[in-house]
Amino acid sequence: GLGGKENISDVDCCATRLRITVVNPDLVQDNLLKESGASGVIHKGNGVQIIYGPQVSVVKSNFEDFLDTAASNDVDALLGDTQAPVQEKKASKSESKPTELHSHLNGTIVPLENVEDEAFSSKVLGEGVAIEPKDNKLYAPCDGKVDMVFDTKHAINLVSNDGCEILLHIGIDTVKLDGKFFEAHVTDGQEIHKGDLLISFDINGIKEAGFKLTTPMIVCNTDDYSSVNVTAKGDVKAGQTVLSVK
């Protein structure tokens, strides 16, 4: 879907997207990329952002390993008549007790559709809510476990005790800061409780570097639920209920 190995000049990723720089963007086939499991594709000049969600770091690693093999020189031969496996529909969790997710920051509610990043505003990553922070601390929205703290410390994946998969992403395009201005206070696999400090960050430093701080909280396994509803508006305090997931 990327126009062949010779059309790829750079491979990178952020918290949710495989970021590919291509020689000729006209050779990119969005339909094939979506068949690979991507929930969306964003084009920016010679840059292609392929949205895989929180598992993107694994996708990137596997993709780079594949590019190092001889087989990557003839992808058409590999594809042949292969069909994508049929995925079983997951059972809905709608009959279980609703999960309440609490504000991950002190700040002001921003509807997800108003976030200035198509990957979030289009909701291809899942439903959720964003907050414009008023201070520099990111808190746990529920009890659960840290799935992964991204190397760049601008984003973190959590899993609640009842199976809600959550992405917290500080700012827009802040992966480009490469960890500068962020400090993680938890590690992969750590048990957490609502209100625990996860990440602190330098608001002024991030703003002066030219980045917005709007911070989405995404329910990545939205399809497992019948509804994800925002329950607050305006100014909120960390720990206040902002999402009801059922």
Catalytic residues: 14, 169
CA 26 to chain centroid: 26
Query: What's the CA gap between 112 and 100, in Å, rounded?
Result: 18
Query: What's the CA gap between 185 and 182, in Å, rounded?
Result: 10
Query: What's the CA gap between 104 and 197, in Å, rounded?
Result: 9
Query: What's the CA gap between 232 and 217, in Å, rounded?
Result: 13
Query: What's the CA gap between 121 and 114, in Å, rounded?
Result: 6
Q: CB 104: neighbour CB atoms within 10 A?
A: 31
Query: What's the CA gap between 180 and 158, in Å, rounded?
Result: 22
On whether the CB atoms of residues 171 and 214 are closer than 8 A, the answer is yes
Structure tokens at 180: 């500068």
Residue with tokens 């001889």: 70
Structure tokens at 191: 């048990």
Name the residue among 108, 125, 113, 129 with its Cα closest to residue 14: 125
Query: What's the CA gap between 81 and 163, in Å, rounded?
Result: 36
